Structure 1
Amino acid sequence: MKYMTGFILLLLMQNVFAAHCQVDGGPWVDMKTSPLDVHVDLRLDKDAGKVTMSGYSVRCMHDFPGWYPDSNKQYFSTVASGLILGPTVMDYGSGMDILGALLPWPVSAGRYLALHDRLTPVVDLPVKVYFDIPTAPGKYIKIKPGAFLAVVLLFVTYNFDSPQYPAYRMRINLIARNGVDSSPSTCVINNNLPINIDFGSVDAVAIGTSIFNTPYKKDFRLRYSCDGPSVNSPITVKWQATPSAFHTHAIATSKQDAGVILFRPDSSALVGPGGEIRSTITNSSGSTEVSFALVKKPDTFPDAGPFTASGTLTLMLP
C-alpha cells in the first residue's frame, strides 16, 4: 500500500501599521497608503510680507498596542526636498512655519513637527507653509480659490525596531480654500460718476443758519466699490472744497451769503472742508449715509437766482 504524504504550507502575513490622520475631524486616512488633502484659508499679511495659512486642523494617531512600553514613540519630521510647490505658486518664495518659527525653504531634514507616545494616541500635526509677497516693483502674489498649493512630505519614524512599524514617507496636499491678491485694488465712490445735489426751489427767507433750522436738506448714500482682489478694510473719505467766509463747516457757493454743509445724519456730525468721513469696505463694497444742508449767513437774505457749489470726495485706504 502506498501512502501519499502532503504538506500544508501556512503563509503568515504580518500586519504593517501606520499613522492615521484626519482633517477637521473628518475620516481617518492611512498615511502609508494614501495622501491627505487639506483645504486651507489663506491670509494676506502685508505687514509681514507673507501669505499664511489657517482655518484647518490636522490630527494623527498611532496604533500602538496597549502592551507596548510607554517609552515607544512615533515621530513626524521634515524630509529633504519635502516641499513640492504647485504650478501657480512655484515662482514665489516659500517656507514652513514649524512651531512658530518661519523657516525659508529649503528646510533641513529631520526637524520634528510632532511626536506620539503610547499614552498620547492622538496629536496635532502643525503643517503650515507660507509664501513671500514679492517686493520688486510691479510684482505681486495672486492665488485663486482651489489652487493646488503644495505637497508636503514628512518622514514617520520610531524609536524602536519592529517590522510592524517600518519608517516611511507620508504625503499631505495643501489646497487653497480662498484666493488672495496683493496687487493694488481700485476703489471708487458711486462708480466715479458726479454727485448732483439739487435743492430745488429755495425761499431765501426760509433758509436756516444751521443744519437744525434749515428746511433745505438732501440725503445721499455714498456707495463704495472696488475692482481687483477682495477688499476688507477701514476707509477714509476726504471732503475737499472751498470753505465759506461765514461758517467754518460750510463750503462756499456762488452766493456770498449762502453755503452748503456736509454732515452725517446718524450723528449730526459736521464734515467741514478738509474733514473726513470714516467707514469700512467689506468684500469690496460699502456705503455711508450723508446729508447736505443749505444754510445762510445770519441776518442776511441771499440774492435770488440759481447758485452753485462744488467739492471733491476722495476715497483713501490705509
Structure 2
Amino acid sequence: MKYIAGLFVLLFIHAVSASQCRVNGGKWESVAGGWFPLTVPLIPNPSSGRIDLDGYRMECRYTPESGPVARKDVLSTRNNGLYAPSLGNYTVGLRIGGVDRPVPVGTVHLATMFNNGKTHDLNTYMYILTRGSPGKPINIRAGDEIATLQLFQKGSHSDHPVDVILIAGNDLITEPSTCTINNNQPIDVNFNQVDRTLIGESVNSTPIRANIRLNYSCPDPGLTLPITITLKGASAGFDSGVLNMSNPNLGTGLLRAGVQVRPQGTFHTNIYNSSGGDDVTFALTRRPGSTPATGAFSGSATLVMGVP
C-alpha cells in the first residue's frame, strides 16, 4: 500500500513538469492535462491569395524545475494539425516557420525546449485561402472557440497529445474572397456642415442624410447569385439600431431601399455576371432629448459581402 501511494506522488510530480505556453507575454498555461485554452486576438491580415490570422505571439517553454538542463520537451503537430469548424468550409492551414502547411498538416516539428528557462516562439499561425466567388461570412464572437491546434509532446517525463484550444479575444466577421465592394476603397460618408438643431431622433425623421453607391465585383466570371451585405460596427449607446459616433449624442443609421440595417445586420441583394450594386443612405441621428455638442465627429464600420 505504501508503494502505491509513492507511485501516485511520482506521477503527480511528472505531470506538473510538462511544458507551458502563453500568448503575447501573458500568463503561462500548463499543458499537463493534455489540453489548455489560450485567448488570442483575431486580426485578419490579407496577403496574396489568403487571410493570415497572425496578430499574436505564442510562446512555449519547458516548465522550470530543478534537475539536469538536458531534460527536454519536444512539441510537434499531429493528425490534421488544425481543427477549425468555426472557419466554415474554406480551405485552411497552418503557416509554420514561414512555410504553408495545408490541412491535413501531419507531423511537423515546432520546438525543442530544454530545462533552461528559455522561451520558444512557435511561429505557427492559421491561414484561410481566399477565392474569387462570395461565400458564407465567418462570424466569430469574443469568447468563441475558434480552432484547436493538435500537437504532440514528447518529453523527458512523458509523451502525450496536446490540444491547444484557441479562444477568440474579439469579434471577427470576414468573408475570405477576392470579391470587392467599391474596389475595396474606403467609403467616405461626409455630412459636411450640419445644423445640430435639424438632426432627427430616428433614421426616418432626420433630414441629415448622405447617399452612397455600393458597387460589387467578383473576379470569377459568370457569377449570378444572391448575396448578403453585412454591416459590421459598434452600436450607439442610445440606440442599438445605429452606428456609434465619437460624439456620444450622435449615431449614424444605414438605409437600403428605405429599410434600416442595424449594426451586425444584413440586407439581401444580387450579383449578375459577377457584378452588381445598390444605392444606400446614411442618416445622422441624435440621442432623444439631447443637443449634440458642436465640433467634428467620426465613426467607422465595415461592409462584408457573403452568401445567404
Q: Give the alignment's TM-score, normalised by structure 1.
A: 0.50
Alpha-carbon spacing, 1:115–1:229, altered in 2? closer, same or farther (3 Å):
farther
Higher helix share: 2
Q: Which residue of 2 aligns with 1:36?
A: 37
1:4-153 counterparts in 2 under 5 A? 11-12=5-6, 13-14=9-10, 15-16=13-14, 17-33=17-33, 34-45=35-46, 47-63=47-63, 65-68=65-68, 70-86=69-85, 88-109=86-107, 111-135=108-132, 137-139=133-135, 141-146=137-142, 147-153=144-150
Alpha-carbon spacing, 1:41–1:175, altered in 2? closer, same or farther (3 Å):
same
Alpha-carbon spacing, 1:188–1:166, altered in 2? closer, same or farther (3 Å):
closer
The one-letter code matched in structure 1 to 2:89 is D
Alpha-carbon spacing, 1:189–1:223, altered in 2? closer, same or farther (3 Å):
farther
The one-letter code matched in structure 2 to 1:22 is R
Structure-1 separation of matches of 2:80 and 2:134: 30
Alpha-carbon spacing, 1:185–1:27, altered in 2? closer, same or farther (3 Å):
same
**Secondary structure, aligned partner of 2:43:** strand
Alpha-carbon spacing, 1:143–1:67, altered in 2? closer, same or farther (3 Å):
same
Asked if 2 retains the 8 angstrom alpha-carbon contact of 1:189 and 1:222, the reply is no
How many positions carry a matched residue from both structures? 194
Structure-1 separation of matches of 2:67 and 2:82: 37
Asked if 2 retains the 8 angstrom alpha-carbon contact of 1:113 and 1:125, the reply is yes
Structure-1 separation of matches of 2:27 and 2:63: 16
Asked if 2 retains the 8 angstrom alpha-carbon contact of 1:21 and 1:58, the reply is yes
The one-letter code matched in structure 2 to 1:170 is V
2:174 aligned to which of 161, 173, 181: 181
Asked if 1 retains the 8 angstrom alpha-carbon contact of 2:19 and 2:60, the reply is yes
Q: Structure 1 stretches of 5 or more lacking a match?
A: 1-6, 194-220, 232-280, 286-318
**Secondary structure, aligned partner of 2:5:** coil
Asked if 2 retains the 8 angstrom alpha-carbon contact of 1:92 and 1:141, the reply is no
Shift of 1:188: 6.5
Shift of 1:138: 3.6
Q: Which residue of 1 aligns with 2:199?
A: none
Structure-1 separation of matches of 2:21 and 2:128: 25
Asked if 1 retains the 8 angstrom alpha-carbon contact of 2:232 and 2:302, the reply is yes
Larger Rg: 1
Q: What is the aligned-residue identity percentage?
A: 19
Shift of 1:92: 0.8
Asked if 1 retains the 8 angstrom alpha-carbon contact of 2:153 and 2:160, the reply is yes
Q: Structure 2 stretches of 5 or more lacking a match?
A: 192-208, 215-228, 234-298, 304-308
Q: Give the alignment's TM-score, normalised by structure 2.
A: 0.52
Alpha-carbon spacing, 1:190–1:141, altered in 2? closer, same or farther (3 Å):
closer
Alpha-carbon spacing, 1:222–1:173, altered in 2? closer, same or farther (3 Å):
same
